[in-house]
Chain A
Amino acid sequence: MTAALEVEALKLRRATAARVAALAVVLGVPALSVGFVLAAQRAPGSQAAAKVAPMITGEGLAAPLGLAGQVLSIGLLLAGGVLVSWSFGREHADGTIGALAALPTSRRAIVLAKSVLLLAWGLAVAVATVALTVLLGLVTGAGPLDDAASAAAGRALAVGATTALLTLPFAWVASALRGYLAGIAALLGVVVATQVLTVVGAGAWFPYAAPAMWAGLGGPEVAERVVPLQLWLALPVALLGVGATVRAWDRMEVR
């Protein structure tokens, strides 16, 4: 397992996909969140303000942090899901699976190493995103880091952690269907389903909808109705996803 972790960490560190995906979320989410809140406050009559107003709850620094949680629930799912699909699917697309599948390092160890590192990547990206949103909010004078802002930051971090867990099952799609495009296609399907279910306010029991709804994407009333168990469902979904991926690799034939 140590060797697999070491090698997979090196691959992830060097991967352009990992860097681009991380930068897109870590820079994009704070810029959008703080920018939209500023726009809504400074030009309340503008078209942008009218569109974003329903998504903004809370006052001061809590406003951009609340928005960051919502954007993170979609942004991290997309960026992390693409990265997870690529990490597993590329071994088929690049033809390296033939070498990986017949080593003294077990296939299970390789799958677990990839999963642990990709989860760590997602968590690190969530922490950096929230930290940068706080910093940008403070610099632009959104307000002090009071109790309400801390609670909003905590919620955004929890949304990020839940979303990071939910990216792991796309490894199974990319592995079973032997390529990253299959994983990305499944991801897009899930994002569409999540949007529909969130907008209609139903389906917090659909694990991919729960964090977005709790973040406030369906409005404050919908967010209030989300119960902790619905969020915690992300954990068994992630474990099932990793388990299915291990099984797919163990049974896999290399053609």
Chain B
Amino acid sequence: MTRAAARGQDADAPGVVALSARGLRRAFGTERAVDGVDLDVRSGEIHALVGLNGAGKSTLMRLLLGLQRPDAGRALVRHAGALRDVGEVRPEAFGQVGHLVETPFTYAELTVREVVRSAARLRGLGRAAADRATRGVLAELALERWADRRSRTLSLGNRQRVGLACALVHEPTVLVLDEPSNALDPAGVVLVRRRLRRAADAGAAVLVSSHHLDEMARMADRITVLHRGVVVGSLPPGGVDLERQLFAMVAAADGVPTEEALG
């Protein structure tokens, strides 16, 4: 039994929609960051969101996490067996959600162990469970060597690992990770890929965004392409030359030849 299931939360059957965007829209001034997105993230799947800078990936993730309010449409998360508006089930639904969007949860003055344990406590684990879970996730992400170092002394890559440890420490059934392999060395990239695969295999619904198409091709079960706030298509996971396919898709959406989109 997973820890989430032990706490009485939904351990969803594979294929059940755990996180969903329905006609989501959000503009900042005249810029339409997310412009009518429909997207389902299913249990047991790694769903990758790819696109160029400014495509709206981070905004879409923030809308799904209730960190921003949509102008129109709905951001839904599965809670107590049904899909519910994220704003209505906050904060209780977040016991089963783990997220890392842009800045890792680190405090310069705390040690790595203290940061991760704090995240575990704030994510609903009791004291003893938080200690156990912290030890486990530090080992999994190869952070034991730095466990008693202050966060301010860490490299960018290790700070990212700490951020991931905080998102994973409570074994969530829904994971939302923006550029999880940001600043990671090749060993870290492999570690994260394995860890996310394990989470999905255990039934978690995983939404990740990335610029690394090769990495996504290896990791994802489903790849959605976002461009100028709109879903413009999907790419075959495990496919070859995804970069070319992505640019062709983006160019088609912009109505220009692929070479022009490549600059």
Contacts and interface: CB of A to CB of B under 8 A. Distances in A.
A99 B114 CA distance: 16
A98 B91 contact: no
A106 B110 CA distance: 22
Q: Is the interface of B mostly helix, strand, loop or mixed?
A: loop
A253 to B, nearest CB: 5
Residue in A7, A11, A99, A253 whose Cβ sees the most chain B Cβ within 10 Å:
A99
Contacts of A254: 62, 67-68
B102 A106 contact: no
Contact of B109 (A6, A16, A104): A16
B193 interface: no
Nearest to A105: B122
A104 B118 contact: no
Contacts of A4: 122
What bracket does the count of chain A residues touching chain B fall in?
Answer: 20 to 34
B42 interface: no
Interface residues of B, number: 34
B186 to A, nearest CB: 26
A102 B90 contact: yes
A98 B109 contact: no
Given A99-B166, A101-B67, A253-B68, A3 B109 contact: no
A10 B103 contact: no
B69 interface: yes
Contact of A102 (B66, B69, B102, B114): B66
Contact of B67 (A6, A14, A96, A102): A102
The listed residue with most B CB atoms (<10 A of its CB), out of A3, A100, A254, is A3
B101 interface: yes
Given A6-B121, A107-B91, A253-B67, A99 B110 contact: no
A200 interface: no
Q: Pick the 4 closest A-B CB pairs, nearest first.
A: A95-B103, A99-B105, A104-B95, A254-B67
Given A98-B101, A104-B122, 4 more contacts: A99-B99, A102-B90, A104-B91, A253-B67
